[in-house]
Structures are given as C-alpha cells and as structure tokens.
Amino acid sequence: MNWHKVLKNIYHKLELSGFQVIKDDIHEGQLSGGTSGEIFSIVLSKLLEIKRSNKEVYQLVEIEIEEFIRYAKSINYLGKDFIE
C-alpha cells in the first residue's frame, strides 16, 4: 500500500465535503513527525480518533481508514489482535 496516496485521497474527500479543519489537523500532524515512521504513527492515531469519535467523517473516508488500519497491522504498528 502506498499510504501517501491513500492520505491524499482522504485529504481530497475531506476538502470536497467541507471538512477542511479536520484535513488541516491531520496534515499538521503529518508535518509534525520527523521520520516516516513517526509521521505514519501520528496520522494513524488521528484516523483512529476519527473512527472512534466522528461517525460522519468516518463514513466519508471509511475505506481509506480501514486500509490504513490493515496496513498498520501488516507492518506491526498495531497488533494483529488490535480492536478499534
């Protein structure tokens, strides 16, 4: 998976749907990381928070968030038994 492309899709959907503030928050997190692993972890945390607490946004980008989660599990950023 190319998570940068998935993230671009998320940004695009958020912008088109009027969720610029949420897009900007994720992007700020992305820019705050130093290494690619840190960046991935920060973005993943923000996406998991959306899944837990913002059903409207989650429904909009559900496919992309779930793809992120599957990828995170595959590279051991989340345990295989991770429960959202």
| Domain extents in the chain | 3-74
pTM greater than 0.85 (yes/no): yes
Q: What is the mean pLDDT of residues 46-53?
A: 96
Angstrom distances, CA of residue 16 to CA of 37, 57, 60: 28, 12, 11
Model confidence over 32-49: pLDDT tens digits? Answer: 988 999 999 999 999 999
In contact, 22 and 14? CB cutoff 8 Å = yes
pLDDT at 81 over 80: no
pLDDT for the residue 62? 98
Question: What residues contact residue 5 under an 8 Å CB cut-off, 6+ apart?
Answer: none
Please state, in angstroms and rounded to a whole number, the distance separating the CA atoms of residues 60 and 51. 11
